[in-house]
Amino acid sequence: MQDVISVENVWKVFGRNVALRNVSIKVSKGSVFLLMGPNGSGKSTLLKIVTGLIKPTRGHAEVFGANPWKERPKIFASVGAMFEDHAPPDWASGKAYLEYKSILKKAENPEKEALAVARQFGVDTFWKQPFGTYSSGMKRKLALADAFINDPDLVILDDPTVALDKEARLALQEIVVNRAKQDKTCVIASHIITEFEHHATHLAFLNLGQTIITGKVEEVMDKMGIRQVTIKTNKPRKAAAILMKKGYAIKVYGNTIIVEGSEDADKIVKLLENLGIKAKTEKPKVNLWEMYTKALTSG
Amino acid sequence: MFPKVLKWEFLAGKRFYLVFVLYFLTLFSLGKYTQDIRTVEHKTLDEYDIRPLTPGTMIDIIWKARDVWWFSFPVVIAYAVFTFTYELDKKILRTYLLSCVKKRTLFLAKLLSIQLGLFIPLIISLLIVYPLGDPILFGSNPLEVYVNLPRRLLLVASMLYIMVGISALSSTVFKNPLYAFAAPIAIVYTLNIAGLRVVSEYVPPQCLEIFDPTSSIGLLTNEHFFSSLSMALPAIIASTIALIIAYTVFIRRDVL
């Protein structure tokens, strides 16, 4: 797959503080890339380098083959982004701001584009008020709408779900999933993201400014020694009982059974089918929290 | 892109231009302009005559250059510094820069909108004040009232340019608006107290001190006008250098 973002051996130093140490990541086209790490791990700094807001002290970053620091206006024709403390001027209304941003992102019809993105997140219900009067959730919705102006090929979201209500979280989740189907890329950074754990295709864990591990979800799980088989069955209780009897460690989520510590999916499916239980393997069910904890403790 | 960015910066409802119109109106009107007939003596070796003052002169006599400078410079610097530092606030700046707009375009639009935000109220207030100074003449010959207006505007504009230059540099260097405001104020006052008067010495209207106190811009000859302008040149150049430094810092600095 083609790399949309390529970061190679990037360092960023602020005075005596080293924010990033030799970080390298690649983001493929059409992927849902989760960038995770605790506070101060360098996620936002990395994303600011990728969006051309800050210059790396050392190393190289490319977005769509262009240097973001030098060619930021060019790359933003196909990139949308939001950061944690998004802040239009207090006097601006959400409507005026989104229309202005649509102009800055070279939308063909700025007013129409602003309305379209506002509707996606329910911003149009309050967007005539000035930004200074918004609650933190409303501000966050406006920031999200801003990021999706012009339906960009790449969207970069820094902690997008903080302060969002359930409806907006679901709307965001749906948009991200639909975009992935259209081969559009999403990079989402957070210290923990449960909304996207089942939709992520790629992962990177950062800690103390360093990449602990990065790659496709399956690769990361493999590198971390997380071996599991995910099986969908019509008789989960019976299947679970059989597998437990055979000595497998399992977790049951509705009709899905995760068999931990095993890689032999065919053998397990065959075992269940021989006993009259319909079963098929599924894409690994990711437990991000578990992976995140393991990555941080082992890293 | 530039016209659209400038339009947003200038017209998007955040600037209280009316406040500045009122400020300049008050500033220019505080003098004792009346409808009394005033005259000025003109003496040369060969002749002596007494001429009535032109309307603009009525105001200029009372508000000599130094007063305008001392009364307007803290206000103008405060406006420019606070607007600039607010606009350059990293969060606000970041929201704009996450788009196709160039940093250069943004900086120039912000700078120009501040300049215009001062200059347009200045023009408006002068257009109002001059006819008020001589309503009779304005009634008979409206254009005559605005005699020398372009010259006066040019000199005052150069004064504003100098102040905005100082403010832009200070706002870029000091991220805290209070420091950004305090620094140029402190510098100008300290230099003046110390008798150096480096900054204000170059302000064009102050050059009028060398003339007869009853004279004014309205009565200046071409020679005197260009002499005033040329004396302002070092400050204009210094302000331009300050703006170039501010621009360079702005372009190269990370937006955290």
* DSSP, residue by residue, chain A: --EEEEEEEEEEEETTEEEEEEEEEEEETT-EEEEE--TTSSHHHHHHHHTTSS--SEEEEEETTB-HHHHHHHHTTSEEEE-TT----TTSBHHHHHHHHHHHTT-SSHHHHHHHHHHHTTGGGTTTSBGGG--HHHHHHHHHHHHTTT--SEEEEESTTTT--HHHHHHHHHHHHHHHHTT-EEEEEES--STTTTT-SEEEEEETTEEEEEEEHHHHHHHTT--EEEEEES-HHHHHHHHHHTT-EEEEETTEEEEET---HHHHHHHHHHTT--EEEES----HHHHHHHHHHH-
Please report residues of A whose CB lies closer than 8 A to that of B86. 89
Please report residues of B whose CB lies closer than 8 A to that of A91. 12-14
Please report residues of A whose CB lies closer than 8 A to that of B1. 104
| Confidence tier at B210 by pLDDT (50, 70, 90) | very low
> Does the CB of B150 have a partner CB in chain A at under 8 Å?
no
In the prediction, which pLDDT does B211 show? 39
Please report residues of B whose CB lies closer than 8 A to that of A52. 97
Percent above pLDDT 90 for chain B: 3
Determine, for residues A82 and B91 on separate chains, whether the beta-carbon distance falls below 8 Å: no
- Shortest Cα distance, chain A CAs vs residue B67, angstroms: 34
Determine, for residues B256 and A96 on separate chains, whether the beta-carbon distance falls below 8 Å: no
How far apart (Å, rounded) are the C-alpha atoms in residues B230 and B204?
8
Per-residue pLDDT, averaged over B117-140, amounts to 79
Q: A86-95, B28-37, B38-47, B127-136: which has the highest mean pLDDT?
A: A86-95
Chain A residue with minimum CA distance to B96: A101
- Shortest Cα distance, chain A CAs vs residue B84, angstroms: 13
Determine, for residues B4 and A103 on separate chains, whether the beta-carbon distance falls below 8 Å: yes
Determine, for residues B97 and A146 on separate chains, whether the beta-carbon distance falls below 8 Å: no
pLDDT truncated to tens, each residue of chain A (299 aa)? 578 999 999 999 998 899 999 999 999 999 999 998 888 899 999 999 999 999 999 999 999 999 999 999 999 999 999 998 888 888 889 999 999 999 999 888 999 999 999 999 889 999 999 988 999 899 999 999 999 999 999 999 998 888 888 888 888 889 998 998 899 999 999 876 667 877 888 989 998 999 988 888 888 877 777 777 888 888 888 888 888 888 888 888 888 888 877 767 788 888 888 888 888 887 766 677 777 777 777 65
> Does the CB of B73 have a partner CB in chain A at under 8 Å?
no
From the candidates B6, B100, B103, B106, which should be mutated to test the interface with A, based on the most A CB atoms within 10 A?
Answer: B100
In the prediction, which pLDDT does A13 show? 95
